[in-house]
Structure 1
Amino acid sequence: MIELIRTNDAVIISFVESLMRDAGIVFFVADQNMSILDGSVGILPRRVMVDADQADQARRILTDAGIANEIRRK
């Protein structure tokens, strides 16, 4: 799996999850439980990971959704 986005913004994470789910793209939110360790201060970003073979499609979806600035570059 490769990292698609990394952010502290729970709204963006939720939006990306929804987009990936709707498109049938396999994804995983890494470091989701790390926010418990930081006391929910939001200093530890979460990462949305996707299968490498679906990465280009996932990037296109985020670009079409207007959040291309969130995409992690290779």
Structure 2
Amino acid sequence: MKELLRTNDIVKLSWLEALLADAGIETLVLDLHTSIIEGSIGILPRRLMVSDDDYLRARLVLRDAGEEVFSP
């Protein structure tokens, strides 16, 4: 799995998940439960992950939608 981006914006995260799903790319959101434990005040960003095989295509989908992509 590779990280596409980190965000505290749950609306944006949901939109990006839907955008990638429409492109046939499965996603996984990490740190969701950690954020809930901290009281859901939005301090800890959630990470949007995709498989290694889908990573480059997912980057292109997000770039075409005008989103910045995490660069390790």
Q: TM-score, normalised by structure 2?
A: 0.92
Q: Which residue of 2 aligns with 1:72?
A: 70
How many residues are paired up? Answer: 72
Over 2 Å off, 4+ runs? none
Match of 1:63 in 2: 63
Q: Give percent identity, aligned residues only.
A: 50
2-structure distance, mates of 1:26, 1:15: 13
Structure 2: unaligned runs, 5 residues or longer: none
1:31 Cα deviation after fit: 0.9
Q: More helix per residue: 1 or 2?
A: 1
Aligned letter for 1:29? V
- Unaligned 5+ residue runs, structure 1? none
- TM-score between the two structures when normalised by the length of structure 1: 0.90
Tell me, in whole angstroms, the C-alpha distance in 2 between the residues paired with 1:49 and 1:4. Answer: 6
